[in-house]
Amino acid sequence: MGEMNMRFVKVFLAMCVLSMVVACGSKRDIEQREVSVYIVVEDTTTSSVLFEGEISAVGEIETLEDLLAIVPELEVVMSKGAYGVQIDSILGVKTENWSKGPWWVFSSDNNTSCVEMGMCPAISEVVIENNNRFKFEFIQ
């Protein structure tokens, strides 16, 4: 009986390892598509609008992070933070001190991910849709 239990445990563990390898190795298929969004970029520390307009891009775009990574107009610099991907800089306006700020924050009044949560999650979690509107603010 003990040998049978050991065999069962070994088979079970092998199946667990195999399923983890398959799950980690499979990448989501994101197809090429065109996305157009309206973006406002405001530096509230200087009361200036740095950018306002529609941005379009074609690529493997699923999230806001995907879009910001490929649009040259906004010169976005991002990094991985404790809560997901964070915005370090837009159009040369950069967070110098993450403890004191100012920082980049963003909102949307019509993106499904943001509206359903009552706030926008990390840019890597915001599923982008055509005609979304986003406002990026550099705030203290």
- Divide the 140 residues of the chain into consecutive groups of 10 and give the mean pLDDT of each group: 57 43 47 95 98 97 97 96 90 95 97 96 95 98
Residue showing tokens 């969004």: 37
Give me the pLDDT at residue 31, please: 82
CA distance 30 to 36: 17
- The pLDDT of residue 137: 99
Q: What per-residue confidence (pLDDT) applies to 22?
A: 38
Closest to 124 measured CA to CA, from 139, 106, 109, 103: 106
Who contacts 111 (Cβ-Cβ below 8 Å, separation ≥6)?
120, 126, 127, 128, 129, 132, 133, 134
> What is the reported pLDDT for 28?
52
Task: Go through the domains of the chain in sequence order and give each one's CATH number.
Answer: 33-139 (2.170.130.30)
